[in-house]
Amino acid sequence: MIVVYLILLAVIQAVVEFLPVSSMGHLCALEQLMGINHGTGLLLEAILHLGTAAAIIFLFRKDLKKIALELLGMFMDLIGNLNIYIYNKKTGKNLNYARIVTGTYRKLGALLVISMIPTALLGFTGRRLALLAADSPIVPGIGFLLTGVLLLVTDLNKSGGKKGPKEASYDSAMWIGICQGLAVFPGISRMGLTLCAALLCGYNRKFAVRFSVFMSLPAIVGAFFTEIGNFGASEMTVGLGFAYVFAMVIAGFVGCLVIRSTVAMVQNMKLRYFAYYSFAVGIITLALNFVL
């Protein structure tokens, strides 16, 4: 039966991961209804997210490859500029330095690196609270309601602008990274917070959605490595470990099937509809926990 539950969780994760409605909240709420405990910490959630991250990498591999190459180029230019600095100091000459951030993909890479800093700090320090919240009967429901409020306010405010990566600022990337770090709690949608933050910073909807998707990758990988030690937990068996990995594969496969349609949905639909959905799920989650 646990395998059937894990397959269901994997499909839910894949479908809602790319929507601003908190996949973590859905997982925790369903786990409580199914009687699945967190004896292995948040390892299951981390593995399922890793599966959908693989779908992102596969479907956006061309863009991600360009970003990775530009980040490598930036690193090499930094090393070159350091050598030029040392040479100028020794010889008294004034050779020109290479410009580090040039072009769209370098700027996007720099923005992603900046956003990773607060995400990593908040995510690491808040992981214990996140585990407690995952076992709470009310936190996921409250998180859904808070996410709905944020989405509704952003929609009614008609937030968003024309900024793309070239016009984006590093301080806005930092704020968006902070929002992603705060979304470690179930029910608080990572994409919802980062998308709303990007729109409030004046980004256009298409770039805001893509930036939110891309910045999730280092956060997901980082979360997995913080939870990987739970493979040695007393509750973990060989069979359960294989079931977790199987669920990850299912999440990745389903994610590949739905990611383009769900991302397009987020780019084109009004955020208020996702807000209404979050309100409904939040109310149902709270009601079920008080009734059962």
Q: How much is the pLDDT for 236?
A: 79
Structural domain span for residue 233: 2-35+43-291
Label residue 41 left, alpha or beta by phi (over 0 means left) and psi (-120 to 50 means alpha). Answer: left
Q: How much is the pLDDT for 292?
A: 60
Q: How much is the pLDDT for 1?
A: 65
Q: How much is the pLDDT for 191?
A: 94
Q: How much is the pLDDT for 117?
A: 93
pLDDT tens, position by position, 10-53 = 999 999 999 999 999 999 888 888 877 777 778 889 999 999 99
- The pTM is what? 0.90
Q: Could you say which residues of the chain have pLDDT below 70?
A: 1, 291-292
Number of domains in the chain: 1
